[in-house]
Chains A and B, each alone.
Chain A
Amino acid sequence: MATKVVMAQLSPTMEEGKLIEWRLSEGDTVAQGDIVAEIETDKANMEVEALGGGVLRRILVQPGQTVPVGALIGVIAGPDEPIDDLIASAAPASAEPSEAEPAQADPADVEPTPSEPSTEPVRGAESGRTRASPVARRIASESGIDLSTVRGSGPGGRIIKADIEAAITRPAAEPAAEPGTPTAEPGTPTAEPGSTAVTAARARPTPGLVDRVEEASPMRKAIARRLVQSIGPVPHFFLTTEIDMGRALELRADLNARASEGKIGVNDLLLKATAEALTRHPGVNASWEGEGIRYHGSVDIGIAVALDAGLITPVLRDAGHKGLRRISDEARDLIERARGRELVPEEYQGATFSVSNLGMFDIDQFTAIINPPEAGILAIGQTVEKPVVVAGEVVVRKRMRVTMSCDHRVIDGASGAAFLGTFKAMLENPLEMIL
């Protein structure tokens, strides 16, 4: 009985995977449970296990190739078993396992409405023609939308009317940099998605630059997809405040002076302050859901971690019940494993609030995009010495700017400001964090 080796859906948001390498060659004997290949998903590198034993009779996908979830990538069978029918009948688009359905209820993976409930590959993309319906083409041409920038949600990846209408109503990109990406681009002039004006404006090539298109890595595609899903439907507003970090840094220095191992970092203090503030302001530890607000029973903070190719947000679970030491140890471990691409899905899903720190990149202040379905995110800038006025006198203090992005469906100005006020108070009076 032949066993199919398929590109399995290893995370609820995964729609395709890239084959990194085969651990076995054609003709090798395989036992059930053996690792046969390594694949790159939108979040991490994962291993594919053989679901049955036999001989690895055929390898259908080569290293470097990206295929959709469900695609047949290899066949394990008896040494003489006929497998041609199996290969011929395996459509590239088959087998979205029905077990994946309940995973879509996971609040960490909000689908845009109207939702595309399963993954269907873009057939016909290979032929070079953009598949779009006549109505879609007409609306697109009238509205100046470039079809090649639109993702089709129709059968076989066809661009349909609804896709163009969505492209038209998508707002212009924020002029500020995107959160957490070390290679953030300066604001593009008329950053209307799909606008043809930007491409037409380029004239002579600049020495050292090469005009090219590079396919986005699965991670970059996931970031793109998720954050567009956020900035479109989520009504963001932003609150900024400047925090005096003098006493917090003193506390940190004190603790570390007597610590034999595991230094407490500034980020750990920020996470602790965030946890305390969220616990005291449960209205911020919430999500917009359907027609109401879900208040979360635990404080799970997503820590934005920059990677070479993008960004990932491991979750510090139950931060409301953890002391500073424990937060520090766990955050260190999560960040290290995030950088090593070793996180499993449960470790980067399900945050109730996020924190993103670009202080180490010399950024004074920035606005971050909320990770849906969270209701807020704190964007932390660097701490700098600057003159401030205290009791009528100009003194030098260590000041840090934070900007909180809020989902206005869940948080209003006053409640956001109250939260931010508590966060600030915790850092300026750090002993309050032990109360």
Chain B
Amino acid sequence: MSDAYDVAVIGSGPAGYVCAIRAAQLGLKVACVESGSYEGGFGGTCLNWGCIPAKALLESAALAHHLKSHGAEMGVSPISVEYDMAAAVGRSRGITQKLTGGVQFLLKKNGVDIVQGRGRLGGPGVVLVQADETTEIAARNVVLATGSVMKTFPGFEFDGEKVIGSREALGSDSLPGRMVIVGAGFVGVEFADVFNAFGVDVTLVEALDTLVPLEDPEIGKTLERSFRKRGIQVRTKTRVKELDRGSDPMILTVVNADGSEGIEKTDVVLMAVGRRPVTEDLGLDERGAQLEEGFIEIDEWCRTTAEGVYAIGDVAGQPMLAHVGSHEGILAAEHIAGQAHHPMRYDNIPSVGYCHPEIASIGLGEAAAREAGYDVVTGKYPLSAHGRALTAGSAEGFVKLVADAKYGEVLGAHMIGHNVSELIAEVGLGRDLESTLDEIAAHPHAHPSMSEAVMEAAFAALGRSIHT
């Protein structure tokens, strides 16, 4: 066992490759196993068929939408705007290729041995890798980072053409005439934005009360107003019942809030109803790694119930976010190296949607803060009068801070508007440091930036708004 690896990481997504690199930085001998699956590859779903290509297409969409809606008023009038999905997707694939190559480069640069094949747990200290043949790797510790795949409902099985998921949506050159998107979480609303901007007739169906139902309800309402203005049809409190793929166009039966049924005719159905962790054929049962609600159960150091086996990222539980996976990867690597000091806190993770207008939130919502027993004060700053938002031609939305009235402790932030994805880090760091509204209000945020809106929300919460 003297030339056994200290760590074998199975999966090279944002959780896996970050774990491998961190472990190598700490002087450990590391192997990273990558199977190159349908939704993955080096860099995982994130780089290949998730975060990155989605954001690339969202940029193309934003450009299209902005030119159409604000071009003339900004003094840039295109004669016509033409949509070339193939070119947009081509650019997106190019970025993905560059980044996945980058991941391989970084792994090699840090001395991580890359092993191609599908990894699974063997006996203690052994990882089996299935490629053309099955080989064995000796590793003292194993980190499972196998990620997740698209989920769908019975009756709505993926066929890659008429019923698709994000994988196909991000890779298809062609644009359907009509599209129904089922599910209005971040994935659903982002695709609604993209396809609407490229001229597709989009209907967005959501079973719960608002779009982005896990966010502050006002955010969902603001987004809905913005989407309706663009011609996206929004059907909330609506469930999908069944799909007749045979007819042309397809007929989708939905159930409305009052129980009545309705029909939507569509060319494509895009399922955006969530993802499920990849836990099959990993040898979990044999090694005693227990599952909890489908995910691999982990403790606060990312250890599974199997000796010497860790799990990180989407396969290890909610929230299924790349940045959570990356930090779990760092924690697991540090723990293996005996250098982990603090487990991760899961109550301060930013949640961001990159549709336009962007959405970002962290911490407790107003209702949750009250339920937790805080004496709650909120400060809401509308962007309609915000300098930077107006100059950007995108002044819909708001920044809202939720705080504890007694000590001013910042409990949460909820935002929708231009570039708010970049504003949430301040609040995240502030909450890690147990900051209060006073610290945010006291810092002279650069003018005229979007970040000032966070400061203005703090002023509002303190009852001393200057600009509203």
Contact = CB atoms under 8 A, between A and B. Distances in A.
Interface of A: 93-99, 117-118, 120, 133-136, 138-139, 142, 155, 160-161
Contacts of A138: 407-408, 436
Interface of B: 301, 335-343, 407-409, 433-436, 438-439
Contact of B340 (A118, A139, A142): A118
A138 B433 CA distance: 13
Contacts of A120: 341-342
Given A161-B409, A161-B434, A134 B439 contact: yes
B407 A97 contact: no
B335 A134 contact: no
Contacts of A94: 339
Nearest to A97: B338
A98 B435 contact: no
21 contacts: A93-B341, A95-B339, A98-B335, A98-B336, A98-B338, A99-B338, A117-B343, A118-B341, A133-B433, A133-B434, A134-B434, A135-B407, A135-B434, A135-B435, A136-B434, A138-B407, A138-B408, A138-B436, A142-B407, A160-B434, A161-B409
Q: Is the interface of A mostly helix, strand, loop or mixed?
A: loop
Nearest to B341: A120
B233 to A, nearest CB: 45
Nearest to A139: B407
B7 to A, nearest CB: 12
A134 B433 contact: yes
A135 B409 contact: yes
Contact of A96 (B336, B341, B433, B435): B341
B374 to A, nearest CB: 12
Given A138-B407, A139-B407, A161-B409, A155 B434 contact: no
A144 B408 CA distance: 18
5 closest cross-chain pairs (CB), A and B: A133-B434, A135-B434, A98-B338, A135-B409, A120-B341
A134 B436 contact: yes
A133 B337 CA distance: 29
A118 B439 CA distance: 30
A97 B335 CA distance: 9
A138 B337 CA distance: 37
Nearest to A99: B338
Contacts of B434: 133-136, 160-161
Contacts of B433: 133-134
A104 to B, nearest CB: 12
B341 A135 contact: no
B6 to A, nearest CB: 11
A97 B338 CA distance: 5
A119 to B, nearest CB: 8
Contacts of B335: 98
A324 B339 CA distance: 48
A90 B409 CA distance: 36
Contacts of A139: 407
Contacts of A135: 407-409, 434-436
